[in-house]
Amino acid sequence: MQIDMNNFFEESIKMIVKIRTSEEFIAEKFFDEKIFSFLHLTIGQEAGAVGVMSVLSNNDIAMGNHRSHGHYLAKGGDLPKMIYEVFGDQRGCCGGFGGSMHMLDRSVNFNGSTPILGSIPPLAVGQAFASKENGIKNVTVVFLGDGAAEEGVFMESVNLAASKKCNIIFVIEDNRYSVASSHSDRKSERYSHQKLIEGLGAIYIRENGQNVKKVHDAAILAREYALSGKPVILHLDLLRRHGHSGPMQENDNADYRIEDTLEYRNENDCLLIAKKEAIKSGLSESKIEEWISSAREETLEIVSKVKETIDVRDIS
């Protein structure tokens, strides 16, 4: 959802809180309510979705992956329909057929998310190509993880987009891990995204994805390049608070995390950074806390009301 720059910090902080609160609600209910939908939480790395979507017009298209609650909401997706979908209710955004890994709200051009690694980049190239053929002046943004960015089909998709001059931004959300495999487990020592991407004829931009303002600024640049027919790869470095899947927050005992301990993740939390940046810009801390509190309450009210209308055990 495009953010008014006069209220950038207010709107972006509120959106981060909305995403986080709704996911925390889902996580809390996961076991007690028997939510039988595979779950991949975006808590901790919401700034990537919020910062990128903040520059998109309603006309722009976005697509996502298995971890797309944040992408969906930040594009303007309907919160109750997301909750219904995750709870397996027919009032969900996919009528319960998709579940958590399939977010969809075509009314705001969030045109789908698919979990198979590397599946979504070429699909997004197709949607971008269709826009071009239909004379629609927009960009298509597709989110993928750092694991999916290693798939051959991703590289193929970048080349295809470059050869067909598609208006597309591939956002790599690099949270350091493919499930629990670190970059050093998966890449040669000389692996270079930049060299690969630029060698394919696309623009490569890397940014700190925990800082929503920096993501916003990078996304503006990316969108300008993309509108000129040059595919862009926006590589965001993020921190995933939770494990790969499921509702549990990992603690320091997660043996695959070496540097990004829970303490480190808390210190570099994107909401905390957004607050600091907002204060640096002259906004008062109390005002920011007010926004956080109101966004949290508002979200909780919505999701709680939705939950009251759902009986997950009703399989009649």
Partner 1 sequence: MSETLVNFVEAINLAHKAGLQDNNKSYIIGLGVNYQNGADGTTKNLSSIYPDKVLDVPVSEAAFTGMCVGMATAGLNPIVHHGRVEFALLAMDQILTQAAKWNYMFGGDYPCKFGARLNIGRQWGNGPQHTSSYNSLFVNTPGLNVLWPSRPSEAYTFTKALHHAPSPTIMMEHRYLFQTKDSFNENNNDPLVIPQVSFYGKSSKTIILTYGDGLVEAIKTKNKINDSDIQIICINAFVRDRELHEDIIKAIESCDNLICLDTSNYQFGLMQGLIGSLAEKINLKEKIKIFSPPFIPCATSPKLVKNYYPFSPDVINYLNEINVTKERASDYLFDDINLPANIDFSENVPSKIIKSTLTE
Q: Say whether residue 123 binds partner 1 (CB under 8 A).
A: yes
Interface stretch with partner 1, choices 111-119, 169-177, 211-219, 298-306 (CB under 8 A): 111-119
Q: Which residue has the tokens 């722009």?
A: 60
Closer by beta carbon to partner 1, 39 or else 160 = 160
What's the CA gap between 167 and 164, in Å, rounded? 9
Name the DSSP class of 2: -
Interface stretch with partner 1, choices 6-14, 101-109, 271-279, 286-294 (CB under 8 A): 101-109
β pairing state of 140-145 and 168-174 = parallel
- Give the residue among 301, 292, 44, 282 at the shortest CA–CA distance from 173: 44
Site for partner 1 in 155-184 (CB under 8 A): 156-157, 159-160, 163-164
- Judged by CB under 8 A, the residue of 21, 111, 167, 208 near partner 1 is 111
Phi, then psi, of 223 in degrees rounded to 5: -65, -40
Torsion angle, CA of 261/66/169/81, rounded to 10 degrees? -110
- Total residues contacting partner 1 by CB under 8 A comes to 37
Site for partner 1 in 252-281 (CB under 8 A): none
Q: Say whether residue 231 binds partner 1 (CB under 8 A).
A: no
- Give the residue among 241, 249, 235, 237 at the shortest CA–CA distance from 202: 235
- Judged by CB under 8 A, the residue of 106, 186, 195, 287 near partner 1 is 106
Name the DSSP class of 250: P
- Judged by CB under 8 A, the residue of 4, 6, 32, 133 near partner 1 is 133
Enumerate binding residues for partner 1 (CB under 8 A).
92-98, 102, 104, 106, 111-112, 114, 116, 118-119, 121-131, 133-134, 152-153, 156-157, 159-160, 163-164
